[in-house]
């Protein structure tokens, strides 16, 4: 399974867990820029992986007021709801 959340994050899975991954770019040994993925978190349930993404977005945000924080949270909740198919 692979679910693209946005242009930087995705969720993959194996038989035991869901893995939140971040896409990054860096130079390889030949100096060429390559894209690679970094595992950010491991979760037992898909909902928890999406909540992990939400927390990461909140912690890495530049919000400065409670109103901005609440707007960000609402926006992330809507995105997660869309990913889950409105369920």
Per-residue pLDDT of the chain (87 residues; tens, 9 = 90+): 999 999 999 999 999 999 999 999 998 888 899 999 999 999 999 999 999 999 999 999 999 999 999 999 999 999 998 888 865
**pTM metric for this prediction:** 0.84
Strands (E), 14-71: 18-27, 33-43
The three-point CA angle 59-9-42 to 5° equals 75
Rg (CA), the chain: 15
pLDDT confidence of residue 87 = 54
């Amino acid at each position: 399974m692979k679910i693209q959340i946005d242009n930087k994050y995705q969720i993959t899975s194996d038989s035991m867990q869901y893995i939140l991954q971040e896409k990054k770019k860096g130079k390889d040994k030949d100096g060429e820029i390559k894209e690679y993925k970094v595992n950010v978190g491991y979760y037992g349930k898909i909902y928890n992986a999406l909540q992990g993404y939400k927390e990461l977005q909140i912690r890495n945000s530049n919000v400065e007021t409670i109103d901005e924080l609440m707007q960000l949270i609402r926006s992330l909740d809507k995105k997660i709801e869309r990913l889950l198919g409105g369920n």
